[in-house]
Chains A and B, each alone.
Chain A
Amino acid sequence: MKFLKFFLIFIILFPLGGVNAEENDKRNKITKNLRCLICQGQSVYDSDSEFANSLKIVVDKKIQEGLSDDQIYEYFKTKYGEWILYDPGLNKNTYILWLLPLLIFLIGGAIIYTRFIVKK
């Protein structure tokens, strides 16, 4: 009985499943943001191709090594370029992608302001 108590306390204090679940979440989040390069329109998470499966193993290894999400993305970026990321960072090739919605929003706001608010 005593052993059972200790065992239960141990399980409550050190939830091993929790650690694994956290790692799993991290792995899923990262693989969902990595493009499977040989299967069009699929993320590494969704794909079961040889390439995607190997990539999942590498992601696992990098998580085990204690690398952060950004470090893992950076690693894949150096291997395959920006194309592998679904959520690319802001740089000279992607600034239009990032700034265009903001620009459209500002222009739209300006039109609404001048046409409807100022007229009143």
Chain B
Amino acid sequence: MKNKILPFSVIIIFGIIFFIFYKGLDDSKIYTPEINTKKEIPVFNIKNFFSGENVKSLSIFELDKIYLLNIWSSWCVPCRQEHPFLMNLNLENKVNIIGMNYKDNFKNAENFLKELGNPYKEIFIDLDGTIAIEWGAYGVPESYLIYKNKIIKKYIGPLNQELVDEINLLIK
């Protein structure tokens, strides 16, 4: 009996190990961030794009308004793709779009806005990308839907009509 317990338990243990590793094959090896975060917005100081003055984050977002923080850059090609959608969203006037210019050259960013239009209520500069990290971002473009100082939803990558419809549905 003793002789049988040992091989049996070894088989069971290897079976469990095999199962764990087999399940692990299905897990994504790519970072998949949480998109429904409900996290508080971070506290930081940031420079205004046009005036250059330092602003506290808490003075940007009012509690009773809905905001869409969009991280963009003139060198980012997907930002060009999503820009018309931001322009349309701004025309609907339901959400305040705040821009955060990421690691950009001022002149290029200004030309970008002249060429494609400015949908932003306010724009701020994140020259070294550290404020984007405060938001938990890891690239451009990224957008955050904010209400009552909480992130309601995070959009990674360029916005498209489907996502704009979703935003409209969420802010109804």
Binding site for B on A (CB under 8 A): 35, 37-38, 40, 50-51, 53-55, 57-58, 61, 79-81, 83-84, 96, 100, 103-104, 107, 111, 114-115
By the criterion CB–CB under 8 Å, are B34 and A111 in contact? no
By the criterion CB–CB under 8 Å, are A79 and B129 in contact? no
Question: Given contacts A54-B130, A55-B133, A58-B130, is CB(A81)–CB(B33) below 8 Å?
Answer: yes
Residue in B20, B33, B139 whose beta carbon sits within 8 Å of that of A80 in the complex: B33
By the criterion CB–CB under 8 Å, are A83 and B31 in contact? yes
Tell me what chain B mostly uses at the interface: helix, strand, loop, or mixed.
Answer: loop
Docked Cα-Cα span, A79 to B139, in Å, equals: 14
Nearest 9 pairs between A and B by C-beta?
A54-B129, A37-B31, A79-B136, A37-B138, A51-B138, A58-B133, A58-B130, A57-B128, A57-B130
Question: Given contacts A51-B129, A51-B139, A57-B129, is CB(A107)–CB(B31) below 8 Å?
Answer: no
Docked Cα-Cα span, A54 to B132, in Å, equals: 9
Docked Cα-Cα span, A40 to B133, in Å, equals: 19
Q: Does B30 contact A (CB under 8 A)?
A: yes
Question: Given contacts A83-B31, A107-B10, is CB(A61)–CB(B133) below 8 Å?
Answer: no
By the criterion CB–CB under 8 Å, are A79 and B134 in contact? yes
Task: Give chain A residues whose Cβ lies under 8 Å from the Cβ of B34.
Answer: 81
Nearest CB in chain B to that of A51: its residue: B138
Q: Does B77 contact A (CB under 8 A)?
A: no
Q: Which residues 41-95 in B have Cβ within 8 Å of A in the complex?
A: none
Instruction: Encode B127-163 as 1/0 by CB contact (under 8 A) with A.
Output: 0111011111011000000000000000000000000
Docked Cα-Cα span, A58 to B44, in Å, equals: 13
Q: Does B6 contact A (CB under 8 A)?
A: yes
Instruction: Encode B2-37 as 1/0 by CB contact (under 8 A) with A.
Output: 000010011001000100100000000111011000
Task: Give chain A residues whose Cβ lies under 8 Å from the Cβ of B29.
Answer: 40
Docked Cα-Cα span, A35 to B138, in Å, equals: 12
Task: Give chain A residues whose Cβ lies under 8 Å from the Cβ of B10.
Answer: 107, 111
Question: Given contacts A50-B103, A54-B133, is CB(A100)–CB(B17) below 8 Å?
Answer: yes
Task: Give chain A residues whose Cβ lies under 8 Å from the Cβ of B132.
Answer: 54
Docked Cα-Cα span, A54 to B139, in Å, equals: 11
Minimum distance in angstroms from A34 CB to a CB of chain B: 11
By the criterion CB–CB under 8 Å, are A79 and B133 in contact? yes
Task: Give chain B residues whose Cβ lies under 8 Å from the Cβ of A57.
Answer: 128-130
Minimum distance in angstroms from A27 CB to a CB of chain B: 15
